[in-house]
Amino acid sequence: MFFVDLPPQLQERVECSISASAKYEVPANIILAIAEKEAGTPGQWVRNANGTYDVGSMQFNTAYLKDLEQYGITPNDVAAAGCYSFDLAAWRLRKHIKNDQGDIWTRVANYHSRTYRYNTVYRADLILKAIKWADWLTARMPTYDATKSKAPVKKPNVEQQTNLAALDHP
């Protein structure tokens, strides 16, 4: 898929985020918001104060890779261009959404940090970016309600996504 209104460097971000969204059942606007917030690029390595690195397009932290070594996943895999880092990030987001405490936005912001003060700042900006991406996606990818003849699906909003938490934790 090609989006005329996007600069070439954002094409991969959008395509990979949408693909990862479908695979891991994480809303595409959330993955896109995190990708924008993290602002990584293929091959990028950013050293953190604690000695870990944030790697690649989704700035996946190397601390999480230690558990994934048994599956042959390396930091170089995550740093490479392509959709792999988006898939790995969506997989991790899905785990946060299903297993962590708090509302969905707090859980999603755990991608960045579980420390309250960092999570809160990240969360606030993430919500704004997710709304922007929901609007962008809705404008370019109309979907239809399968239960109603030719009725477009309404744009998701923050309240609807917050209610996703209720599905995972009744």
Structure tokens given for 34: 């995190």
Residue 1 lies in a domain: no
Count the domains in the chain.
1
For the whole model, what pTM was predicted?
Answer: 0.82
Q: Is residue 51 part of a domain?
A: yes
Cα(39)–Cα(106) distance, integer angstroms: 20
Mapped onto helix, strand or coil, the DSSP state of residue 53 is strand
Residue 42 belongs to some domain of the structure: yes
d(CA 116, CA 87) in angstroms, rounded, equals 26
Contact 97, 8 (CB under 8 A): no
164, pLDDT greater than 60: no
Measured CA to CA in angstroms, residue 165 lies from 33, 34, 169 at distances of 18, 18, 6
Tell me: pLDDT of 152 over 70. Answer: no
Which domain range does residue 100 map to?
8-168
Measured distance CA(26)–CA(95) in Å, rounded: 10
Answer whether residue 94 is part of any domain: yes
Which residue from 169, 145, 157 is spatially nearest to 27, judged by alpha carbons?
157
The CATH number assigned to the domain holding 19 equals: 1.10.530
Mind listing the pLDDT tens digit for each residue in 81-140?
A: 999 999 999 999 999 999 999 999 999 999 999 999 999 999 999 999 999 999 989 888
Please indicate, yes or no, if residue 2 is contained in any of the structural domains: no
Residue 26 falls inside a structural domain: yes
Strand partners, 47: 53
Which residues have CB under 8 Å from 24's CB, separation 6+?
87, 90, 91, 93, 94
- In the predicted model, what is the mean pLDDT of the chain? 86
Q: Encode 2-30: b = buried (16+ Cβ within 10 Å), e = exposed.
A: eeeeeeeeeebbbbbbbbbbeebebbbbb
Residue 45 lies in a domain: yes
**What DSSP character marks residue 156?**
P
**149 lies in some domain:** yes
